Amino acid sequence: MAGNNIFVGGPNLTEYVQCPYDSAHRILPVRLAFHLNRCAKNFPCSKMVRCPFNTSHLYSVTNMQEHIIECPNRSNLERYKMPDMLPLVEPPRHEFIVDSAENWDDDPPVPTYNPKTYCEEKFIIRNPQGAPPAARREFRERERRRFTANNQF
C-alpha cells in the first residue's frame, strides 16, 4: 500500500503576491487591484500611497519616492514622452480582392417569402389571435368553406 500514495499539492504560493495592508493575505496577481480596493476599507488609517504608473503598486509615503525611480511600469511613461524611441508602426496590410460571380447587391431570383400569403394558398390550419369572438367565428367559417371546396377536410 505504500506505493499507492498520491501527493496532492497545496496552493503554489510562488504565484501569489502579498497584500501591502495585511501580510497574511496572499492574492493572485490578477485579483490584486480588486483586493486592494476592498482591503483599503479595512485599514483606513494606513498611510499607503498608490504608484502613479500602476495602481496595484502600494507603498508607504517614505518608500514611494524610491519606488517611483525603480518602478518597472515607468517605461510606459518614458515611451509616451519620447515618441522617437517608439517602435515603428506596422506596415499596412496588403489589400486583396476575391473574384466571385456572386453579387449581393442584385435582387434575388425568387420573390421574398411572405408567410401570410403562403398560409392562405396552402391548406394550413390557422387560429386568429386577438380578434373579437364574432370575427373569429367568421374566420373559422371562411376557412371551413375553403377546405371543403377543395376536398381537403
pTM of the predicted structure, to 2 decimals = 0.42
Cβ neighbourhood burial of 32 (10 Å; 0-12, 13-18, 19+) = buried
Q: What cell was used for 30?
A: 490578477
User: Rounded mean pLDDT of 61-67?
Assistant: 87
Cβ neighbourhood burial of 36 (10 Å; 0-12, 13-18, 19+) = buried
Q: How confident is the model at residue 136 (pLDDT cuts 50, 70, 90)?
A: very high
Give the E-state strand segments of 6-77 in sequence order.
17-18, 26-27, 48-50, 58-60
- Alpha-carbon torsion 40, 44, 47, 49, what sign? positive
> Does the pLDDT of residue 1 top 50, yes or no?
no
Mean pLDDT of the chain: 81
User: Rounded mean pLDDT of 80-97?
Assistant: 71
List beta partners, residue 71.
Answer: none
Single-letter amino acid code for the residue at 52: P
Residue 70 dihedral angles phi and psi, to the nearest 5°: -100, 0
User: What domains, with CATH codes, occur in the chain?
Assistant: 11-46 (3.30.160), 47-87 (no CATH), 115-149 (no CATH)
Q: How confident is the model at residue 7 (pLDDT cuts 50, 70, 90)?
A: low
Contact 153, 144 (CB under 8 A): yes
CA–centroid distance for 87 within its chain: 30
More confident residue, 132 or 7: 132
Q: What is the pLDDT of residue 141?
A: 93
